[in-house]
Structures are given as structure tokens and as C-alpha cells.
Amino acid sequence: MTFSQLEIFVLVAELKGFTSAASRLSITQSAVSHAIKALESELGVELINRHQSTLELTAIGEQLLLRARAILGLTETMRQEASDARGMKRGTLRIGSFGPTSSVKLLPLILDAYRKEYPGIEVHVDEGRDREVVQWLQDRRIDVGFAVLPDERFDTFALAEDQMVALVPAAHPLAAKADISLKELAPGPFIMTEAGSAQLVGNLFNAAKLIPNTRYRSTQLISTLSLVERGDGVTILAEQALPCVTGETGYVKRPLRPRVKRIIGLAVLDERQVSPAAQAFIKIALRLKRQGVLKQTESG
């Protein structure tokens, strides 16, 4: 068993195909197939169901994927520790991000400073839903991810705080209120976000023992805003996720009653095993927070 075989196996599993993995690695598809067959032969088990129309891992293949990611992660950490002794001139950093708050307002500022200090580190960014980033962390697919805090499953570092706000159509009766309660929003029609604060919004209604009249589920901010502007429903979003607009819009935002804060930060699976590249990223992010570069909205 070689590190190369494990790297190829992980890439095939993540990209869901031999051709995609070969293209990413700039090798032939036959080389990828040979590596997987050699790995299966050595282990004596089938890792991939080849009879499926789409690539699927076997049960043992799923288990090996987690082990392979852990082994490769430790290998990369060893390489980076050696590189760190030489001034962190090379290495790889895998980041998970979600929603406009982290992907648009936080990550670019941190990355800009990071690349200036460590130009030799290769950075990969995966964007998805908040729940997907959590899963990527648990699967060791990424080294560090943005998360809604607190989250007891990880070691975390708070970066920015804002508040959750209600969005209602400009002509809606609730638009005349100074703030809006969950009870007033529950009858809807409600537009449930499936992006950056899905878990938080769901928890809010559960804690209040309310069931929102959900008519729409949206993963894209622009679609959510369009639905509210057309008068199709109301929603709850994080204030920092909203675009900066100077003119009038077809919706109004109002703070929730009572106020609900949202904290965004970085999360790692285990701070003690974080690679030097990830440690440097967290250190720079916290420095920018102290300097006031990472803006926060007032929640009072």
C-alpha cells in the first residue's frame, strides 16, 4: 500500500469518478484504475461498486475512506512541520466555507493576508451548506472550516458576531413593526434557508415550540430575496449575509424579538493535530479580528 494509491482512492471517492480523478492528477484513467485495483488486491476487498451507473463505495470502502483521509492528513502535517522549519515555503491548506458571511465577507480578507505571508501554501476552498462543512470536518476532507458557534464537536475560534433578522415584503403588515417575533413569522408562508444558518433557524423554532408554515426551501440568497420581494413569503437570515444596497428594495429587515445573535468562527477537528498551515490561517484570522478588520454588526 502506498500513499499514492491512497491519494488516488480518496480523489476518486470525492470526485465520484475515475476520469475526473485522472484529470485532476494529470495522469491516465488506466493509471487510476490500476492503482485502485492494486489497493483492492492488497487489502483483499472490493472498495468500489463498479456495476453501479454512478460510482459508489462499498461499506468497507466508506470505512477505508475515513482512514485514508486521516493517514494522508497526518502525512501532510508531517510534511508541513518539516516545511515550517524551513519557513513554511510549501504545503496545502483545505478550507470549508458557507454562505455570504464567510465566503464573501470573512474568507477573502483572511486569505489576502494569508497569501501575502505564505505564498507557497496551496489553498483549496470548498463551498457548501453549513451542515456540509461540518460533515467535511468530521470526514477530514478539510483542515479548517467556518461554522456557526458554539459547536461542542470541534475546537473553535470565534471571529465575528451579527444578529438574525426577519425579512418581510415591503407591503406586508409586519413591515410596520419595529421588531418581529417568531410567533408572528411562523404562519408564513415561510421561506426556509438551506444555506448558512439552516440549523440555527430550525433550532430557534424548535426552542419556541413553533412549526413554521414552510412553503419554500432555498439554498441561494438571491433566490430567497427574490421570493420575499415578490411577496411569496417571509424568512429569517443573518444580517451580515445580506447584500449592501443603497436604494429601495421590495423587502424590509427587522430584528427578531427577542434579539438573536449569531457567532461565526473557525472550527477544527482537534486543535492538537492541526497542521502548521491551518494553525497559521487561524492565527492570522484571530489577528485580523483583534485589529478590527473583520467587521461585526451591532446586535442591540
The predicted-structure confidence for 243-292, as pLDDT tens digits, reads as follows 887 778 999 999 999 999 999 999 999 998 888 889 999 999 999 999 99
Cα–Cα distance list, 212 to 184, 196, 239 (Å): 10, 18, 20
Quick: pLDDT tens for 33-54: 888 998 888 888 989 987 766 7
* 91, 120 contact by CB (below 8 A): yes
**Within a 10 A sphere around the Cβ of 143, how many other Cβ atoms?**
27
Give the residue, 174 or 245, on which the prediction is more confident: 174
Please compute the mean of the pLDDT values over residues 174-193 and round it to a whole number: 96
Is residue 299 over pLDDT 60? no
Give the residue, 280 or 70, on which the prediction is more confident: 280
- Would the pTM count as exceeding 0.75? no
SS3 (DSSP) at 78: helix
Question: What are the domain boundaries of the chain?
Answer: 1-87, 161-261
What CATH number does the domain located at 1-87 have?
1.10.10.10
Q: In the CATH hierarchy, which fold is given to the domain comprising 161-261?
A: D-Maltodextrin-Binding Protein; domain 2 (3.40.190)
